[in-house]
Amino acid sequence: MRVTDRVHALRIPFTLKTPLGATVERFVYAYVIFGPRIRIVDSGVADSEKAILGYVRESGRDPGEISSLVLTHSHPDHIGAARAIKEATGCAVLAHPAERAWIEDVERQSRERPVPGFHALVGGPVRVDGDLEDGSVVGSGEDPPIEVIHTPGHSRGSISLRLPSEGVLLTGDAVPVPGGMPIYDDVASLVRSLRRLMGLDGVRFLLSSWDDPIAGDGIPLRFQACFRELRNVQNAAERNADLASDPMEMCRRVLGELGLPPAVANPMIATSIVSHVKASGIAGKLFRG
pLDDT tens for 178-187 read 888 899 999 9
* pLDDT mean over 253-280: 91
Contacts of 71 (CB under 8 A, 6+ apart): 42, 43, 78, 79, 82, 93, 94, 95, 99, 103, 128
Within 13 Å, how many C-alpha atoms sit on residue 269's CB side? 23
21-35, 55-69, 198-212, 215-229: the lowest-pLDDT one: 21-35
* pLDDT mean over 101-116: 94
49-58, 137-146, 157-166, 265-274: the lowest-pLDDT one: 137-146
Region label for 178, one of left (φ > 0), alpha (ψ between -120 and 50) or beta (otherwise): beta
pLDDT at position 20: 60
Residue 98 has pLDDT above 60, yes or no: yes
Share of the chain above pLDDT 90, in %: 81
Nearest to 159 by CA among 167, 151, 170: 151
Spatial separation of the C-alpha atoms in residues 83 and 126, rounded to whole Å? 5
pLDDT at position 263: 84
pLDDT at position 201: 93
If pLDDT is split at 50, 70 and 90, which confidence band does 72 have?
Answer: very high
Report domain 7-232's class: alpha beta
Spatial contact of 64 and 47, defined as CB atoms under 8 Å apart: no
Spatial contact of 76 and 118, defined as CB atoms under 8 Å apart: yes
* pLDDT mean over 10-34: 83
If pLDDT is split at 50, 70 and 90, which confidence band does 154 have?
Answer: very high
Alpha-carbon radius of gyration of the chain: 19
pLDDT at position 19: 61
Beta-strand pair 146-150/137-138: antiparallel
Nearest to 190 by CA among 168, 158, 217, 220: 158
Residue 289 has pLDDT above 60, yes or no: no
